[in-house]
A = this chain, B = another copy of it.
Amino acid sequence: MADTPATPDAAASTEPKGPSKNELKKAAKKAEKAAAKDAKKASQAAAAPVAEPDYAEGSYGPLPLNMSQERTKRERISIAALTPNDVGKTVLFRARINTSRAQGSKMLFLNLRQKTASIQGLMIIDGTKVSKQMLKWSSSLLAESIVLVEGVVEKTAEEIKSASVKDLEIKISKFNLIAGLDGLLPFSLEDANRAEADYAQEGADFNRVNIDTRLSGRVLDLRTQTNQAIFKLQAVVTDFFRDYLHKNGFTEIHSPKLQGAATESGASVFKVQYFKGDAFLAQSPQLAKQMCIAADFERVYEIGPVFRAENANTHRHLTEFIGLDLEMAIEEHYHEVMELLDGLFLYIFRNLREQYKNEIEIVRKQFPAEEFIWREGPEGTLKLTFAEAVDLLVADGVDRSVLDDINTENEKRLGRLVREKYQTDYFIIDKFPMELRPFYTMADPNNPGLSNSYDFFMRGEEILSGAQRIHEPQLLMQEMRKKGIDPESMKAYVDAFRMGCPPHGGGGIGLERVLMLFLKLNNIRRASLFPRDPKRLEP
């Protein structure tokens, strides 16, 4: 690679037209020159005192800007895949410089990183392959630079604590820059990566990178071990969600986010300029997934963005988050749905604990937390009615008169009470008062004022809301009018039930909340790749 000519070969071009050919070539050259400048400087600086010839020339320096100039198909290895069997092999790989530390004037220790894997790289002036100039230039490269490394895999004398590969290192013979930095980093990755325990050490005086700084420099922040683990876990939660639902006969759907009317609750919906009219962003796939039940899909789920125009600046609200939604026809009773949802959560929790111990532990280092616990076995998940939950709080000293609804503070209190009494961080509250639920909720047939609806909780915070829905159009319209909604404004939705719809129910899960609460990240923004709140639309 290092020997590839840097200059595009103009003579070889057979393309007659193209308005920007010269500019493009210039730009490419300029970029290469900029990248090469540091190398020359380093080389000159190193060469100045003695002017000795550089026997390592060609084994280091910046590579030309990659424009796919050539393709050797030479194998490049993954650090995580290295084993003691590779000792003695010459390997080639791309990595970030995680840290770099010169020892004396003849040795350079590098920590080279690929995602969460890392290995020690060692460069020693040896009179044949690594020159003084090469070492000098290499040690001038900043942390987070991307390099192409060639070297021999060797066994280490002692365990390398700072690398994920502890028993091997790379004796470097070629070292080239693929992509450098342009300006200063907003914070150091070392600071961003620091475990909570480090701050507690005696004499510790580290920079704490606050969440706003992290989010503004999110691209850098996402490179931390913690974030690599968090977003690995985010992806596997959706995998487990899909797995379980596929096994249970669900079909994935994609419903439109652009809506003709401000549905569900007009107050918290974003308005979109839609050609010469208006559209609105869906607050959930509620209407669409119910229409799919009326359309005989029987069991559907959707993973997609939902939008909430609530000006809520809290640790648990986003204006855009990922909804894991499902809806299913029921045969007899809405507990069929509630139990399926319970099975779904247990499936996710068990698989996370069994298969992703490593990732959970990585996150735990930065965010210490009590282990997330739940009930298994014949007793199963704790299910309280709303009335029982209220009684628990009253018994703990909360005034019953404020418990028409359970506010956020009392939810957390309830979570603590439940953990103490039932040894679980996960439970269900069933039978919410009708007045607390949306218009499409089915009433309890035996307890007027109550509804066939439930919320699921993790560590005292709601992560799922669901219910049996009204499938009968006349009753639905009556309930709409009661909540001040004109059925004509949601005609297509009401019409779906006029065409015959089976009894059904479902629920909606907030992906970021599940992740935040399982890992106890304390702020939902940490569970969102590029979070959106009333004050943040970037990056």
Contacts and interface: CB of A to CB of B under 8 A. Distances in A.
Interface of A: 1, 8-10, 12-15, 17-25, 27-28, 30-31, 34, 65-73, 76, 94, 96, 113-115, 144-146, 178-183, 185, 217-220, 222-223, 227-228, 231-232, 234-235, 238-239, 251-261, 270-275, 279, 281, 288, 291-292, 294-298, 303-305, 307, 309, 311, 319-320, 322, 329-335, 387, 404, 433-435, 442-450, 452, 468, 471-475, 478-479, 482, 491-493, 495-503, 511, 529-532, 534, 537-539
Nearest to A181: B500
Contacts of A468: 67-68
A529 B254 contact: yes
A316 B295 CA distance: 24
Nearest to A142: B500
Given A179-B471, A256-B532, A539-B291, A68 B500 contact: no
A36 B406 CA distance: 40
A13 B497 CA distance: 29
Contacts of A23: 478, 482
A427 B146 CA distance: 35
5 contacts: A12-B447, A15-B449, A28-B475, A30-B475, A34-B474
Contact of A256 (B69, B479, B530): B530
A448 B232 contact: no
B304 A304 contact: yes
Given A12-B446, A18-B448, A31-B472, 16 more contacts: A17-B433, A24-B443, A25-B448, A31-B474, A67-B442, A94-B502, A182-B498, A222-B297, A227-B295, A231-B297, A235-B252, A256-B320, A257-B320, A261-B538, A291-B530, A492-B538
A258 to B, nearest CB: 5
Contacts of A24: 434, 443, 448
B17 A258 contact: no
A16 to B, nearest CB: 8
A449 B20 contact: yes
A208 to B, nearest CB: 20
A450 B319 contact: no
B218 A231 contact: no
Contacts of A442: 67-68
Nearest to A504: B66
A365 to B, nearest CB: 18
B320 A67 contact: no
